[in-house]
Amino acid sequence: MIKKKSFTVDELKRKLENYCVYQDRCHKEVEQKMHEYKLIPEAREMILLSLMKDNFLNEERFAKSFARGKFKIKSWGKQRIVRELKFRDISAYNIKTALKEIDEKEYVQTIYRITENRNEVISESDIYKRKQKLIGFLMRKGFESELIYKVVAEVVA
């Protein structure tokens, strides 16, 4: 059996600071990481407060960078971003703030771009089935249904 190395509270604090510096994290991720080290509640609370005080852990910053990244890199729609942020226990206020990071014009351009790209790779000749496939794809990406129907109608004409 492998014995897990034990750390002092200061060592763990440094480890978690590095964990937060590498990439913006939410409270839930940090708490899961601390859970792996089986800390007593007092130490856990102390480290969490210290990380927030020293700005290693900032929920608003996390939400903003998450929304920007998932939109720019993965072309996710707002609904998918909101769902993922809620899953990470981000507050409604921070979710609202995060969505402001997405430029409306860029958002519409993105849905057109990915719809046109996807339309080119769908081999379906039946126009209704083609539209259904596009709608399903865009729904999974997390775009709003009114916007999806409008864009699909224009792209598949």
- pLDDT tens track for 19-44: 999 999 999 999 999 888 888 888 89
* Residue (of 117, 121, 111) closest to 76 by Cα position: 111
- To the question of pTM greater than 0.85 for the whole model, the response is yes
Supply the pLDDT for residue 2. Answer: 52
CA angle, 105 as apex, 112 and 101 as ends, to 5°? 115
Nearest-angstrom CA–CA distance, 144 and 110: 13
5, 40, 49, 54 from 13: Cα distances, Å: 15, 14, 11, 11
**What does DSSP assign to residue 4?**
P
The string of pLDDT tens digits covering residues 39-83 is: 888 889 999 999 999 999 999 999 999 999 999 999 999 999 999
Handedness of CA 35, 37, 41, 45 (dihedral sign): negative
Tokens of 29: 């991720």
Helices in the chain by DSSP H: which ranges?
Answer: 9-22, 27-36, 41-53, 59-74, 78-87, 92-99, 104-121, 127-141, 145-155
The string of pLDDT tens digits covering residues 92-138 is: 999 999 999 999 999 999 999 999 999 999 998 899 999 999 999 99
